[in-house]
């Protein structure tokens, strides 16, 4: 029988709302990022360690999903320079078709 959380993950996978997949024993991704979730880390003190990012997310009141995603990161004591190292597909300014000179 499918658990509700597994069905939600399947729906997220179909809509490509997940990234940097980490698979558990059932081959379901346990970490996903959206633009909304990643936006909570925009003001993080980069570069930062996993523990510093978790602390920042908790202190700033980020949703539980952000903290859980950060906890799922492999901890090798490395410093993360930006959100792109956590979510490689994080859209940059060049990814948006937006001409700032028009506004």
Q: Is the residue at 98 inside a domain?
A: no
Q: Is the pLDDT of residue 9 over 50?
A: no
Q: Is the residue at 101 inside a domain?
A: no
Q: Is the residue at 102 inside a domain?
A: no
- Which range marks the domain in which residue 31 is found? 4-92
Q: Is the pLDDT of residue 10 over 70?
A: no
Rg (the chain; Cα; Å): 15
Non-local (6+) Cβ contacts of 45 within 8 A are: 52, 56
Buried-state track 71-81, b at ≥16 Cβ within 10 A, e below 16: ebbeeeeeebe
What mean pLDDT is predicted for residues 10-35?
53
Non-local (6+) Cβ contacts of 17 within 8 A are: 32, 33, 34
Number of domains in the chain: 1
Q: Is the residue at 100 inside a domain?
A: no
pLDDT at 6: 44
pLDDT at 31: 76
Q: Is the residue at 13 inside a domain?
A: yes
């Amino acid at each position: 029988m499918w658990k509700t959380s597994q069905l939600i993950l399947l729906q997220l996978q179909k809509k490509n709302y997940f990234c940097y997949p980490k698979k558990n024993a059932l081959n379901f991704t346990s970490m996903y990022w959206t633009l909304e979730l990643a936006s909570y880390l925009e003001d993080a003190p980069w570069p930062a360690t996993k523990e510093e990012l978790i602390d920042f997310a908790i202190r700033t009141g980020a949703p539980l999903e952000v903290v859980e995603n950060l906890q799922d990161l492999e901890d090798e004591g490395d410093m993360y320079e930006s959100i792109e190292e956590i979510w490689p597909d994080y859209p940059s300014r060049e990814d948006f078709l937006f001409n700032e000179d028009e506004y």
